[in-house]
């Protein structure tokens, strides 16, 4: 069954526009005519219809996403199969990805980047608490709305500790530019693997480039395993530099304990940086107008004497003017 615009799926979802297409599936923006809201539909490509291995992957994604109810995770509404094609009905997120923002802006100020990283860490902590490892944390899978709200998407290669493993031992799963050293070696991913990938995302956002490059994905993955992470620029806050580098430790045991520690630590750094920015702006404020008038308060007795002197001076001046007029006459 080939999917086309205007087609009604499951007697309630109207396909409006194809958003993306990959080797395994395609993603559509659709409209739920029963509830009157837009949705996103991820479906197996028609030429993959009946492919049991690909269907199993969609089932795993549905299973792993089903219980992850959190503001920073794109919600799964429904999963069903028809004519050998699986359909994931998901929350439609009308936002740019963090990859889009990096492409447009390059490096971001820490006070703008940190809220994105904090929300992503919170979403990952909820997934990890349910035994789900994302395994493909990268900017393209982090959606950021205009108001700054973050949604983690695409649990397509996620792993759950509560289900049977469908990938073979030694199989490398993830994206080379953001893959953890243990994943690159074909080892089982853990919550610390997602933390490493988020560390790469943070590094890229702070520097404008990733820590490792290479001619091929294999070269890049090997660099994550073998090469030391290049230091972050010294212009970046010291504590922030140190913490991001701890997220990028080769040994998972040297990384932060969990994603909740990541979110809380980054939140403390963000508050401190915002306080510093506020203090700096107050210290450097200059009144662009004229110099303020000096106001002096004098004791009551002095003010009385001054008024008396002023009155006496006025009387003398008036008397002198009268005398001058009489002489002239």
Mode of pairing for the β-strands spanning 13-21 and 8-9 = antiparallel
One domain for residues 162 and 263: yes
Give the per-residue pLDDT at 321: 46
Domain's final residue, options 91, 123, 156: 91
More confident residue, 222 or 1: 222
Question: Stretch 263-270: mean pLDDT, rounded?
Answer: 98
Q: Which of these is catalytic: 16, 83, 100, 136?
A: 136
Confidence bin at 21 (pLDDT 50/70/90)? confident
One domain for residues 119 and 237: yes
One domain for residues 136 and 82: no
The domain tally of the chain equals: 2
Confidence bin at 302 (pLDDT 50/70/90)? very low
Give the per-residue pLDDT at 238: 97
Give the per-residue pLDDT at 78: 94
Mode of pairing for the β-strands spanning 8-9 and 142-144 = unpaired
More confident residue, 169 or 140: 140
List the CATH number of the domain containing 138.
1.10.510.10
Q: What global pTM score does this model have?
A: 0.81
Parent domain of 271: 96-282
> How long, in residues, is the chain?
329
More confident residue, 88 or 48: 88
Give the per-residue pLDDT at 161: 82
Question: Stretch 12-30: mean pLDDT, rounded?
Answer: 91
**136 carries an active-site annotation:** yes
Give the per-residue pLDDT at 1: 73
**Do 65 and 160 meet the contact criterion of CB atoms below 8 Å apart?**
no
């Amino acid at each position: 069954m080939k999917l086309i615009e205007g087609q009604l799926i499951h007697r309630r979802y109207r396909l409006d526009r194809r958003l993306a297409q990959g080797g395994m599936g395609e993603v559509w923006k659709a409209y739920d005519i029963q509830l009157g809201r837009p949705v996103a539909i991820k479906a197996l490509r028609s030429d993959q219809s009946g492919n049991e291995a690909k269907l199993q992957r969609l089932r795993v994604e549905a299973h792993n996403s089903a219980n992850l109810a959190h503001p920073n995770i794109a919600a799964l509404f429904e999963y069903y199969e028809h004519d050998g094609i699986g359909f994931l009905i998901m929350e439609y997120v009308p936002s740019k990805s963090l990859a889009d923002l990096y492409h447009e802006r390059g490096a971001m100020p820490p006070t703008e980047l940190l809220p994105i990283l904090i929300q992503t860490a919170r979403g990952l902590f909820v997934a990890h608490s349910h035994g789900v490892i994302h395994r493909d944390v990268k900017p393209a899978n982090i959606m950021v709305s205009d108001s700054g709200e973050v949604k983690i998407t695409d649990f397509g290669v996620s792993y759950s500790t509560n289900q049977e493993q469908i990938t073979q031992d030694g199989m490398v799963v993830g994206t080379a530019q953001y893959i953890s050293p243990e994943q690159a070696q074909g080892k089982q991913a853990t919550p610390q693997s997602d933390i490493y990938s988020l560390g790469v995302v943070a590094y890229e956002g702070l520097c404008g480039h990733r820590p490792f490059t290479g001619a091929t994905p294999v070269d890049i993955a090997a660099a994550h395993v073998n090469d030391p992470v290049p230091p972050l620029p010294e212009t970046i806050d010291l504590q922030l530099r140190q913490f991001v580098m701890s997220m990028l430790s080769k040994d998972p045991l040297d990384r932060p304990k969990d994603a909740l520690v990541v979110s809380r630590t980054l939140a403390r750094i963000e508050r401190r940086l915002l306080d510093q920015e506020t203090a700096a702006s107050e210290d450097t404020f200059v009144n662009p107008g004229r110099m303020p008038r000096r106001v002096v308060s004098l004791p009551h007795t002095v003010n009385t004497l001054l008024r008396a002197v002023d009155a006496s001076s006025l009387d003398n001046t008036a008397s002198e003017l009268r005398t001058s007029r009489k002489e002239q006459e």
